[in-house]
Amino acid sequence: MMNVGFLGAGTMGREMVLNLLKAGHAVSVYNRTPEKLRPLTDAGATAAVTPAVAAAGRDIVISIVGDDPASRAVWLGPEGALAGALAANAILVESSTLSRAWILELEAEARRRGCRFLDCPVTGGPDGARAATLTLLVGGEETTLKAARPALSAYANQVYHFGPVGAGTAYKLVVNLMGTVQAVAVAEGLLIAERAGLDLTQVAEALSSGAVASPMVKYIVKRMIASDHADVYFSARWRHKDASYALKLAEEMGQAVPTSATATQAFQAALDQGLGDLNSSVVIDALR
């Protein structure tokens, strides 16, 4: 069993911590909003008042927060995890979906402090986090991944090791950018079908069984025709954030992505209309 420091108790982090506890690991957890920690302390976690306290002396420290600024705060802020008394050779795991540039900067800071590092974004959503069936998208050294597996396997059942630090994040940004394009394409297609007088329930059924069907299409087409945007699985705000980081990566790689850029603009329109905190399916209303 491992002594785990955990940073972030949002929708994903909460379920990951609960699975770590079920697996018998000792967990000290920090969250910016302390009241969200109650279900975790009830389950056996220790509440930490700062990231530094959560990380102090721990074998492994795992973070899953919203964006680059939030990640920078929990790791490098005045009371961040890297400002505390880290264990020698501790493993630091960043599981948030962040920019690759920040991941590389964070890894350099970790190494300067004598720590090992993995970038390890996850996929599978809240349902996967709850069921301990997340997929890990990993960048880092194989020996570090092996050492971290006892903790990571508490909430994940599949691992893709893409290469050195930054590789897991690069893949996650690619796949989320593709999901952004699919979401906008579905929205545009449904709006055309709507104006053409088609039965949208029938359209959704046909799309979900036809040549363009994918897990993303099947999921989001149902949400769109039902206008089911309040039950948030993945918000428009986070979809836009991930796509924006992916566009930045594409620019760094010198790759033109005109379709992806246009799809990202559609989600920017959703944010501009005050729809950012609704489910990403709400992009259809922004386009309407």
Secondary structure string (H, E, C) spanning 118-165: EECCEECHHHHHHHCCEEEEEECCHHHHHHHHHHHCCCEEEEEEEECC
pLDDT at position 38: 95
pLDDT band for 209, please (50, 70, 90 cuts).
Answer: very high
State pLDDT tens for residues 103-138.
999 999 999 999 999 999 999 999 999 999 999 999
pLDDT band for 170, please (50, 70, 90 cuts).
Answer: very high
The answer to whether the beta carbons of residues 281 and 183 sit under 8 Å apart is: yes
The residue with tokens 């420091």 is 5
The answer to whether the beta carbons of residues 286 and 270 sit under 8 Å apart is: yes
Cα separation of 200 and 191, whole Å? 9
pLDDT at position 103: 98
Active site residue 241: no
Angle between helix axes 236-253 and 258-272 (nearest 10 degrees) is 150
Cα separation of 28 and 206, whole Å? 48
Nearest 5°: the CA angle 32, 37, 43 is 155
Mean pLDDT over 24-37 rounds to: 95
* List 22, 146, 172, 248, catalytic entry: 172
Mean pLDDT over 96-102 rounds to: 98
pLDDT at position 91: 98
pLDDT band for 57, please (50, 70, 90 cuts).
Answer: very high
Mean pLDDT over 251-275 rounds to: 98
Q: What is the mean pLDDT of the chain?
A: 97
Instruction: For 279, list phi and psi in degrees, rounded to 5.
Output: -60, 150
115 Rama class: left (phi>0) / alpha (psi -120 to 50) / beta = beta
Cα separation of 135 and 285, whole Å? 31
Please state, for a pLDDT cut of 90, what percent of the chain lies above it.
99
pTM for this entry: 0.95
State pLDDT tens for residues 137-167.
999 999 999 999 999 999 999 999 999 999 9
pLDDT at position 278: 98
pLDDT band for 66, please (50, 70, 90 cuts).
Answer: very high
Cα separation of 67 and 225, whole Å? 30
